[in-house]
Amino acid sequence: MENVSPKKFFLYARKSTDVEDKQVLSIEAQLQELGDYAKRENIEISAEIVEKQSAKIPGRPMFNKMLDDIEKLGGNILAWHPDRLARNSVDGGRIIYLLDTEKLASLKFPTFWCDSTSQGKFMLNMAFG
């Protein structure tokens, strides 16, 4: 999209308060790793979004606002892993739909790789699970 720089990304970090998520990196550690990755890859962060809520059910306010902004203006997302973005089919489906419509230009993860092909989106959907 012409109105969105290919190097500008929303940085999204999330940590659930659920017990089973305790092994996942703290928000501070995610932010550090994502910042280092952004520097290495020459990625410009346009906004940093931090949320402390489970992604098992839809309804995270900061996440939804980020996707609403991307739907209106286009954009890119940088996150630690796909499961930081979605762990339910509604949110995962919305991300894949934004990729399909090219509103979401790209997703970057230091711990996971996918492209915008059918196979890449299938792998992304599996990672959301």
**pLDDT tens digits, one per residue of 52-92:** 999 999 999 999 999 999 999 999 999 999 999 999 999 99
Cross-strand partners of 14: 51
Distance CA 50, CA 14 (A): 6
pLDDT of residue 2: 46
Distance CA 104, CA 93 (A): 13
Whole-structure pTM value:
0.87
Q: For the chain, count helices (H), then strands (E).
A: 5, 4
Please give the domain boundaries of the chain with CATH numbers for all domains: 8-128 (3.40.50.1390)
Give the CA count within 13 Å in the CB-facing half-sphere of 57.
2
Mean pLDDT of 85-102: 94
Does the pLDDT of residue 119 top 90, yes or no? no
Q: Which residue has the tokens 């890119």?
A: 76
Does the pLDDT of residue 4 top 60, yes or no? no
pLDDT of residue 7: 65
- For residue range 8-40, list pLDDT tens digits in order: 899 999 998 765 555 567 999 999 999 999 999
Secondary structure (H, E, C), 46-91: EEEEEECCCCCCCCCHHHHHHHHHHHHHCEEEEECCHHHHCCCHHH
pLDDT of residue 1: 40
Distance CA 38, CA 48 (A): 12
